[in-house]
């Protein structure tokens, strides 16, 4: 995320346009200061298909599950963060879900409230409060793997939490570990540890970290740094601005950066040699990469709401090249955007525009960016307003079997708001079912016969088929 909140950053700079596509390069990796290259890079491990252990389901950020709800669902249970002893709740989100457990987080001024629920009946299993570095960056969650939940504090620390009881297994200041060997100018654009901005993605063997330095391999057992790879020499910059997200495949690690960099880096092992491919992006605030093939990824904006529409909605990258760009709306007024989801052949993204007051869902061919289908529906009678930047949001889409789940809602300062999730046919965009909720939906996670919807005020709702337990 940008140093300011995404909404405030957009209001400050206006985002009238973005840079054109920069060149890209494939270069042998040059060593950074005291750099330790890894023995291996990438992983063939993947989580089981009946879980949602990462923010976007898996290591490739596909937001995909083979399970689906085929009929209008029933609410089985819901809960919300109601702590009155803390400062006002800033935001809430789903962190991970399995057939046994659902974990959520609420973010206050300087404290995170992690909560675990029984997936079947919604009973709270544990609560854990964790201090974090409040400011321009926010904590990021890197997956629930082998009983541990991995996260960062938004500034310097990587944290492992025991998912069975919420106890902290270890907490390590990665910035200090790296700073022992690396001059500060390589670690932060503003010579501040806060802008180190670590983003994690965990596997059983390695916790991958993206930072303003580059990539790091962390030991899942104790948080020690095993290796690091410097990326800044690819752009003639000491430190990289604004890490935005990681993806990991068997042969590659993908990392997107914004600010002055605006690039997607892919790091790989080729004949025993580490190489970097850098592709310039027409996205000032690029999303995490969504991997759709061995050498293909798609990105959109890491933006939830903007004062004006973006010129580019999504970008497809293959190897060293930007293969396609899908244009955004060219009108005036505010706009809202969702993250991406993919079924491998297509990518799906939702957008809403103040001038039209519509929910628009795009299905694009992953290889070419060609529009496969488009779903529109009016929001004029839904008691929401796209122009209300403090309140209106689109929900993260999710591919669930043969359907695509999307959503929207309004999130007032008080209460949980209201909204709706809609299941569309993945093949043609036809409405399969819809469910009205007393929350503004933000996150969707699918496990077994349950669909979990998270609201921005820390609410979680469990939905299931009418004929399911």
Q: pLDDT by residue (tens digit) across 301-312?
A: 999 999 999 999
User: What integer pLDDT is reported at residue 136 of this predicted model?
Assistant: 62
Reply yes or no on domain 6-464 having CATH 1.10.10.10. no
Residue 259 Ramachandran class (φ > 0 left, ψ -120 to 50 alpha, else beta): left
Lowest-pLDDT range, 112-121, 230-239, 405-414, 419-428? 230-239
pLDDT confidence band for 31 (50 / 70 / 90): low
pLDDT per position as a tens digit, 245-287: 999 999 999 999 998 899 999 999 877 788 889 999 999 999 9
How far from 417 is each of 96, 106, 390, CA to CA, in Å? 23, 16, 12
What mean pLDDT comes out for the span 48-57?
Answer: 96
List of residues 6+ apart from 442 with CB closer than 8 A: 92, 93, 94, 393, 395, 396, 409, 454, 455, 456
pLDDT confidence band for 411 (50 / 70 / 90): confident
Percent of the chain with pLDDT over 90: 69
pTM listed for this prediction: 0.92
User: What integer pLDDT is reported at residue 16 of this predicted model?
Assistant: 28
What mean pLDDT comes out for the span 149-170?
Answer: 96
Q: Which residues of 132-198 form beta strands (DSSP E)? A: 141-145, 148-152, 157-162, 168-173
User: What integer pLDDT is reported at residue 416 of this predicted model?
Assistant: 65
pLDDT at 48 over 60: yes
- Helical ranges in 3-91 per DSSP H: 6-13
Lowest-pLDDT range, 68-77, 228-237, 379-388? 228-237
Q: Which residues pair with 272 in a beta bridge?
A: none
CA separation for the pair 349, 63 (Å, rounded): 11
User: What integer pLDDT is reported at residue 373 of this predicted model?
Assistant: 98
pLDDT per position as a tens digit, 66-85: 999 988 999 999 998 766 55
pLDDT at 154 over 60: yes
pLDDT per position as a tens digit, 127-149: 999 988 766 678 999 999 999 99
- Domains of the chain, by residue range, sit at 6-464
Starting at the edge strand that comes first in sequence, how are the strands of the sheet with 148-152 ordered? 141-145, 148-152, 157-162, 168-173
């Amino acid at each position: 995320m940008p140093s300011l909140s995404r909404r405030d950053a957009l209001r400050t700079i206006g985002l009238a346009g973005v840079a054109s596509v920069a060149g890209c390069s494939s270069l042998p990796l040059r060593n950074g200061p005291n750099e330790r290259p890894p023995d291996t890079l990438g992983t063939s491990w993947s989580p089981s298909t009946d879980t949602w252990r990462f923010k976007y389901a898996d290591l490739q950020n596909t937001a995909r599950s083979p399970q689906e709800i085929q009929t209008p669902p029933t609410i089985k249970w819901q809960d919300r963060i109601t702590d009155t002893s803390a400062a006002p709740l800033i935001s809430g989100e789903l962190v991970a879900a399995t057939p046994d457990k659902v974990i959520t987080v609420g973010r206050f001024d300087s404290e995170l409230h992690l909560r675990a629920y029984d997936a079947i009946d919604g009973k709270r299993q544990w609560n854990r409060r964790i201090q974090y570095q409040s400011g321009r960056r926010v904590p990021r969650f890197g997956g629930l793997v082998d009983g541990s939940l991995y996260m960062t504090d938004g500034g310097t620390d990587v944290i492992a939490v025991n998912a069975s009881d919420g106890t902290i297994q270890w907490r390590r200041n990665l910035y200090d570990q790296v700073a022992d060997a690396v001059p500060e100018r390589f670690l932060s654009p503003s010579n501040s540890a806060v802008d180190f901005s670590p983003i994690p993605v965990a596997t059983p063997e390695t916790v991958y970290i993206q930072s303003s330095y580059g990539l790091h391999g962390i030991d899942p057992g104790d948080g020690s740094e095993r290796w690091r790879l410097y990326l800044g020499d690819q752009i003639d910059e000491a430190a990289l601005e604004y890490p935005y997200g990681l993806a990991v495949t068997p042969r590659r690690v993908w990392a997107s950066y914004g600010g002055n960099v605006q690039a997607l880096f892919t790091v790989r092992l080729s004949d025993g040699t580490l190489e970097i491919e850098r592709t310039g992006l027409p996205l000032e605030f690029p999303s995490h990469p969504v991997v759709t093939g061995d050498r293909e990824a798609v990105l959109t904006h890491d933006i939830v709401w903007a004062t004006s529409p973006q010129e580019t909605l999504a970008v497809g990258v293959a190897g060293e090249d930007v293969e396609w760009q899908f244009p955004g709306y060219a009108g005036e007024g505010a706009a809202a955007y969702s993250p991406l989801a993919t079924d491998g052949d297509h990518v799906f993204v939702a957008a809403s525009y103040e001038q039209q007051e519509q929910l628009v869902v795009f299905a694009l061919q992953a290889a070419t960016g060609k529009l496969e289908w488009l779903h529109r529906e009016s929001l004029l009678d839904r008691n929401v307003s796209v122009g209300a930047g403090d309140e209106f949001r689109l929900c993260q889409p999710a591919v669930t079997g043969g359907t695509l789940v999307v959503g929207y809602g309004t999130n007032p300062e008080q209460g949980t708001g209201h909204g709706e999730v809609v299941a569309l046919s993945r093949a043609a965009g036809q409405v399969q079912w819809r469910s009205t909720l007393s929350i503004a939906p933000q996150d969707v996670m699918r496990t077994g016969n349950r669909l979990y919807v998270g609201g921005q005020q820390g609410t979680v709702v469990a939905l299931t088929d009418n004929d399911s337990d």
